[in-house]
Amino acid sequence: MSGKLYIVPTPVGNLDDMTFRAVEVLRTADLILAEDTRTSGVLLKHFGISAPMRSHHKFNEHEEAPKIAERILGGENIALVSDAGTPGISDPGFMLSRECRRLGAEVECLPGATAFVPALVASGLPCDRFVFEGFLPPKKGRSTRLSILSQDDRTVVIYESSKRLPRTLRQLAESFGEDREACVCREISKLHETYHRGTLGELVKYFETNQPKGEIVIVIEGRAKKVRDSEN
């Protein structure tokens, strides 16, 4: 009888966001695959989880994915976690999930934490239709991607590092327009969680003199109907 790959979300900040089901899956797994065993080791120790753990990250997932899938087909239940949030969302996980599907191994993803959903909902911007972009291309194709996103009617959600935030906001203001509404969300579910709302122009001015720290999610208003109408 074959086993199963469990994709297990872990807290992006507050450890109390861990679900009972996630703890139980990790406790009973034959093996836990972790993006960083040091980071996940802290989490496992906190919840008294002693299942075996090994590294599974972007540098070895291509080679390891077929081997892991074969172990699952052989009857093992294997859990995959990333440093924080849901594996596969801007983190390793897609290759293993795809390989399991290709070979016929069962895959189950538990519902749970991810940074962009609370950032989107708390931003005050429309969240009925949105596009999640993850991290923008660092260099090649970046300006083209920004130009395409600036024409999207849906709310746009982007991940960014705190160090690159001022530069990215300037580029967003150039592509989307300084009057486009946006929200910079910092340290979701952590002690210093903050939300800065305003136009892109206002946010550029603020963060040029207030360098943030921590994990950043940027939520940007979609292209307004009145802008489209004025161009037609």
Close Cβ partners of 209 (under 8 Å, ≥ 6 residues apart)? none
User: Of 109, 124, 140, which one is at a domain's C-terminal end?
Assistant: 109
How do beta strands 194-199 and 181-186 pair?
antiparallel
Please say whether the beta carbons of 88 and 122 come within 8 A.
Answer: no
170 or 224, higher pLDDT:
170
CATH number at 177 reads 3.30.950.10
Q: How far apart are CA 66 and CA 175, in angstroms?
A: 42
The pTM of this model reads 0.90
User: Do residues 68 and 34 share a domain?
Assistant: yes
Tokens for 173, please give them. 């203001």
In the chain, % of residues over pLDDT 70: 96
Q: Which of 62, 80, 109 is the last residue of a domain?
A: 109
Residues 46/15, Cβ–Cβ less than 8 Å: yes
Q: Which residue has the tokens 């802008």?
A: 227
Residues 101 and 181 grouped into a single domain: no
* C-beta of residue 54 within 8 angstroms of C-beta of residue 33: yes
Domain span including residue 126: 116-231
Cα–Cα distance measured from residue 229 to residue 227, given in angstroms and rounded to the nearest whole number? 5
Would you say residue 228 has pLDDT above 60?
no
Q: Are residues 84 and 122 in the same domain?
A: no
- pLDDT tens track for 20-61: 999 999 999 999 999 999 999 999 999 999 999 999 999 999
pLDDT tens digits, residue range 155-201? 999 999 999 999 999 999 999 999 999 999 999 999 889 999 999 99
Q: Which of 82, 109, 136 represents a domain boundary (last residue)? A: 109
How sure is the predictor about 231, in pLDDT bands with cuts at 50, 70 and 90? low
- Determine how many CB atoms are found less than 10 A away from the CB of residue 119: 26
Instruction: Give the separation between CA 109 and CA 65, rounded to whole angstroms.
Output: 17
User: What integer is the mean pLDDT of 123-135?
Assistant: 96
CATH number at residue 12: 3.40.1010.10
What pLDDT score does 224 carry? 81
